[in-house]
Each structure stands twice: as structure tokens, then as C-alpha cells.
Structure 1
Amino acid sequence: MLVSFTLCKQTMSLPHKPPGELKSNFFRPRLEKEKVVIIMGATGTGKSRLSIDLATRFPAEIINSDGTRHNDQEDPEEERCGVPHHLLGEISPYTDFTATDFVDMASHAMDSVLSGGRVPIIAGGWNSYIEALVDDEDFQFRSRYKCCFLCVHVAMPVLHQCVSERVDKMVEMGMVDEVRTFFDANANYAVGIRKAIGVPELDRYFRAEPYLDKQQRGKLLQEAIQEIKRNTCKLACRQLEKIHRLRNKKNWKIHMVDATEVFGRRGKDADEAWEKLVAGHSTEIVAEFLYNFSSQKSDPGH
């Protein structure tokens, strides 16, 4: 279960061009590389929200790149703003979904999206899957596709606090009962959704629950929740380290979009900051990438 703050946006007006020019620019000769947008970032930074924002402003569909997001409830239909999603709700939560599986399924999904004259937006936190797709051994991906990499960045101290609040919110919304449906005393926690953060941490609680009184259960549950928070923060650090390696060691041209200020605000102020600093800025980057519109601002990702 994930807490979503997605707000459906109306299609944003792009810089003025004569009628028909956007369409003619978009449907380029097939001799040119197809274009793909890839959204990265640590857990909880708003990758899903940004992918939907962009997919409502450009002719695009979203391809999920998170191997533990197996069910549609994690991105409810009403929060997708009518944007088609691929690799979400298509994978059994009890199977081991490998990077090889992702590359195969994502490749087919990209072909399907592109054949409809739309842009694939790949979004998710499993950077190893994205690396396997982009830097394949035969360089087939790079020879066929041109990528625009976006990374939603939030300063770690701020993100860690938000992770804590987010886990508390998930618990309020029924995370424990949802995870309970996956509990099996003989299960393999290295396969499928059972290896996702939030499932193994609650295992000890579920095993002991029938034998404890109310106070003991509450104490053990709080210990499990704190472990979920710690492991989520550790995951965020690993994800950011991986992105830095791709950018600094492998020279991926990743546009870093700073959302730190957004997470320090609440309500309408947060939405306005998101639009200005994240969605709006990313829209400019993607418009320049897709349609060769000249940006008025310099971008550190270039």
C-alpha cells in the first residue's frame, strides 16, 4: 500500500508553435531514435506523482519499474487520472520478478506505447532494473532509444522525516491488515512481494500475535513499525547512491529536480511548490527533449 498525493492536472500549454508543428515534430522519421522518459529517485520522493503529471501534459503512457508494486491498489484507478499504466497488476505477487523479466516485459510495453504514437514514461525505484534495460550487453537499447532521465531529489534529513510520517499514515490506512494477507509461516521471504519492505518486518508480530495480550501486541507492533521506518530510510540511501553512481561513474545525463522545499510545506502551499519546482520544471525539460523547444533556463542535468 502506498500513500499517493497525486493531483490530476489539466494539460499544460506548451510554447506557441504553428498548428500542426507539434504533431509533425513528434512523428519523426523512423531513422531517428525513439524517445523515452525515465523517472528515478529515492522511495517516497514523488516519482509516481510526477509520472502522472507528465503523462497528462504529453501524449504518454507509464511503465512501472518497481518489482514489488504488484497490485492495482498501490496506484488506485482514481489516482491515475486516466493515464494507461503497464506492468502494474500484471505480475503475480508470489513470483520472483527479476531484472531479466522486467527488461523483456518493459521492452514489449515500450513497443506497444510507441506503436500508438505515444511516449513511454518509465517510473519506479528499482534502479537496477532500469540500468539493466538501458545498459544492456548488446547496446540495443541505446542504439534504438534516446532517453531523458529525471531524478526527483529530496534532501535526506527531510526525506527521512517524511518517510516516518508516511509509514504512520500507511498504518492508519490499514497496512498491517493488508500485509497480514501475505503472511505464511512457511513462506520464502526472498521471493515476490514478501521481500518488500513492510512484509518481513511484521513477520515476528504475526507469529507472536495469538499468544500475547493487548499491551504486548502493541509493543511488538510498534517495534515492527520502527523497523519498517529504518529499513525504508536505508533503502532511500541505497537508491540515491545508485543514482549518483549512474550519473558520476557511468555518465548518465540525469536531470536532478529538487523537491526538498515541497516536503517542508503543507496543503495548498505544497501543491504550489510542487507545480513550480518539480512538475513545471520537469515539463520544460521534457518539452525540450521531445520537441526541441529551447529552454530559457540553464539546467544542471545537461
Structure 2
Amino acid sequence: MSTDTPDPRDAPDPGPGEAVACTRLTYSFGETTAVDALDLTVREGEVFGLLGPNGAGKTTAIRCVTTLLPVSAGLVRVFGHDAAKDRMAVRRLLGYVPQQLSADSGLTGRENVALFARVFDVPRRERAARVAEALAAVDLADAADRLAGTYSGGMVRRLELAQALVSAPRLLILDEPTIGLDPIARTGVWDHINAVRAATGMTVLVTTHYMDEADQYCDRVGLMHRGRIRALGTPGELRRGLAERRGTDTEPTLEDVFRDIAGSGLDDNTAGGFRDVRSTRRTARRVG
């Protein structure tokens, strides 16, 4: 390794209060670099929004944090655990709601959550109570014994949130959790996320293309483009920073900041491809 490129494994241990610490995280698909020497810290207890255009590397980075992709270069720590060396320890700390639908329409809501309780190794003697608690937390107790295939889009997303919460995670990771939902259903999902967060103090890492959601619900946001964080701060800090750069007294929106950092987002060299677009559209159709 070149002396100009420090080994990320020589980095100091994460400081107190750090839920996620990525140091020079790099991941490539063939010749395409999706995540490029990413440095990112998520503080314990905060809601952190990872924003960026399609193909910016957000989902790839999240899959490295969740251990769904191997950390081939760089370092990822989750509450101090090395995601490459201590994968099971990391997984026990996580709840994950992916872009793609994970609920089974042929099972009841209760059966779906119970399945995840087994997957996340919730002790057998605690499963029934934990499943009931997770369903109650997202206001699905009354619909728990209906087939998930009869649920509305907003109910399906809340069911998937219950699946992620059944293991009582310290870190909840949400990849486009409200994709395809109407504004009322989106607000409902966030109300339940915030209620659980207030009760448990869990950390939330979320990706979203809805700038109003990021502005309203995220304590800090990182704007990612071409595999790296290009801007980082509270939504207010980023909006005021753009106003200063433009020399205007009118504060721009977070969407203005997004456009300023990422441009059109229609770059031909981004990592997102046909399969990503097809998958996202399929999810939006099913929950919509």
C-alpha cells in the first residue's frame, strides 16, 4: 500500500456516541466504483439522512454497513464492531427496511413479523411478546391476523418497519422507506419511526429522495454524489451555506442544495442501472 494512502484499519477506535463509522469505504462492481473512499460518521441517537441521485452509491454503502456486501476495502464499524470481522455481532444490532418489499403477501402480518423474529434470533420464549410489541408500535395490532396481501401500501411499509423493529435494534436502517406512498401514508410511517425512536433512543440511518422528509425529520444529512459525501450538516446549515455561496438573503430549499451538489443527477457514469430502476418502479407500484 502506498505511503500516501493510510490503512483505514489503523484508524482510531470510534469515539463515544458513534453508531456508524466508515473510513475510506470503497466498493466496486467490476470497473465501476460505486463507493469511493467514503468517510462517514453517524452519531448515536440521531436520524441521519443519506441523500443523493440514483447511482450515487447510497444503497451500496448501506449494504456494506448491514454486512449484505463484504467490506472489501476500507473499514466500517457499527457501535465499535468491525463489519468485516464481526458480521454476526453487527447484524444483532441492526434493523433493516430495504427498498424492495420484504413482506410475504401470503402470510399474515403476525406471521411475517414472527418470521423475522426467528431470522434475527429473538429468544423463543420472548418471540410472541416481541412480535405483539412490534405490531402495536406501528399500529397494526388490529390487522395482525389478516393476510399482508390485503394491506394498503402504507400498512405494508409499517409491517416492514415492525419486521425490522422486532429484534429491538440499536440502529434502524431505512432505504427509501416511503417510496410510492401518498403524503398521508408517508407521514404515518414517519410518526411511527419517531415514536419508537423517542421510546428507545435508537439511531436511524435513512436514504430518501423526498427532500421535505429529510428537511423535517433528519438531524443531519449527507449529500452523496459519485461515491463520496459532498456536503454534510444539518438541513438548516446546508441551506444557509448555499445562500451564502449565492450571496442571497433568501434561504434556498434542501432540494436547491441537492441540485447544487449533484447537478441533474442524470449522469451516464452513475452506478445505478436498468435493474435498479426496474426494481424501484416495481416496489412503487406494489405499495402504491
TM range (shorter): 0.3 to 0.5
By percentage of residues, which structure has more strand? 2
Larger radius of gyration: 1
Q: What TM-score do the two structures reach when normalised by structure 1?
A: 0.32
By percentage of residues, which structure has more helix? 1
